[in-house]
Copies of this chain bind each other. A is one copy, B any other.
């Protein structure tokens, strides 16, 4: 069981969304952030770094937005729709963009294939949570 789930189960807060969904989303956000940070490092080591510039930029953006979102949803007792909804929307959008761009390089660079997968999973998880909180 992931730390996110163990922490949620041990925590005094009452959530207005399913704890399993919430924990899965937090894990997926953190995995995506981690993959994007690592992919940036890998991209910078490639011979064709010039063609990886958009990928690097999007990975940095995606890592930033996913980390902030994981923090906010880990922390809140009651979800403030005005903050959570646009934040999850930004997350869905940046994961989609970053996943699309990583996929373009997936055949050439295995690390981009892995990162694309992490972005796709995060995009879906954030969409699901967005539906659940709406």
Contact = CB atoms under 8 A, between A and B. Distances in A.
A39 interface: yes
Contact of A68 (B30, B46, B67): B67
B4 A38 contact: yes
Interface in A35-49: 35, 37-42, 44-46, 49
B3 A42 contact: no
Number of identical monomers bound together in the oligomeric complex: 4
Counting contact residues on chain A (CB < 8 A from B), the size range is 35 or more
A20 to B, nearest CB: 15
Contacts of A7: 35, 38-39, 42, 111, 114-115
A38 B3 contact: yes
